[in-house]
Structure 1
């Protein structure tokens, strides 16, 4: 049983909480209705969509170093909001077009918020041919069309500074690593073990099932690129795992069967249709 009470700002500001993306947004939104000042401290960069939205609705939000602060009791102003395409969803197709020979893909109207595009920097460091066109602002968010051509990829040591900016895209990036020449090393990503699944272990097992050498670490993964075989992988109900292995099938020598994919329809209900439009051959089996 939860009983409503008056909210108070998080204080003193010097002792504000260390939070992740969702926690930061939750407390900032609660702070709108709190008495006094609310400050949230971020030990590492997190997504700033909530701050941008509040500013777009006329609500003052102040960033002081690694702290985000607002005063409660203000007023939100109605406005027209246009939501750009999700970068995390686009990332699967960026990887797919990069690894499939002869690919030339344009993904239109995608949000390129700098707190979200670590995967773009990682793919470029691996040798991906990705360019941004028609840059613009939509609802306070930077947007562009993403043009991807197939290119030979090489393994890299992923800079830890990019980990929080690409945390949701690593299942797709592990597939890129499997198709790259040489070894790719990821460290500093222990958070992947507590996502919808243990994404380090599940991706390692799935890549191994397709003939790729993948060695899980406590806080990351080592992937040695090589030829992908067909086979069966289990997504453990994790939508990003399922979509990542759908892209891996583009380079597999035989069909890839992915189990437990129902959650894909929750996060990306048009994924199968988009994948087919992009040239993938996908058969969905129920039951």
Structure 2
């Protein structure tokens, strides 16, 4: 069961769903329209595509006028006169242009269409057989950016950012979750869903699935602790804590030991004993051999320094 908080509700969202249901997908190829004097179509285009819109008319064209009323920005017009082969444009984006192809009528190309190009497109053609009018209502789709992570409590959090319309999120395996939406100024919506059914009975690998008119995506992550993880993780944490405590105790003992050694050496210096050998003279006849031995001479460095001072 999923609790949701939506920033799009009521008639606006219902109209959008109806439009997506009735709309015709538009590829980079020219859209074929029925040969009649008045024609209207609802089109859906994904951001980044390059649609080509055509007019429906019979006979030889004399004058072609495209009028564009985007959702954001001012009115754009392109006027083509066939007799002079001239095209005039006013306040149109650089990515909107007329294209001319052999044996085909002039068409309107929108290179790498963006959200700002959403709106109404109207074509009027004056030919030798009369006037023809074609209208398009262009609705833009923005694929969401999917990201999946674990929060501080170890719960999976799935985000479908900046989608138009809002993406639909679901989880596998199924479980309780919460969802909220954040609306942006450009008409896109970010959907955030948190999986709240984590327990030892749920698989540690959780998959977030995103459904959107522009496509479907999924990502998996291991956040929820499994039974084994739930048993061993406290043991590992306890072992690490015990080892850290033992290390601190050993460091403290070494600190005490070295400080005690330095204190003892400072107040009770050790005496240095210098052993000097005594050798007999070369003429032993003048001395008694009874006194030939190795004499010891002790020198106390500290006492000598005191006497010199």
Higher strand share goes to which structure? 2
Using structure 2 for the length normalisation, give the TM-score: 0.24
User: If you compute each CA radius of gyration, which structure gives the higher value, 1 or 2?
Assistant: 2
Higher helix share goes to which structure? 1
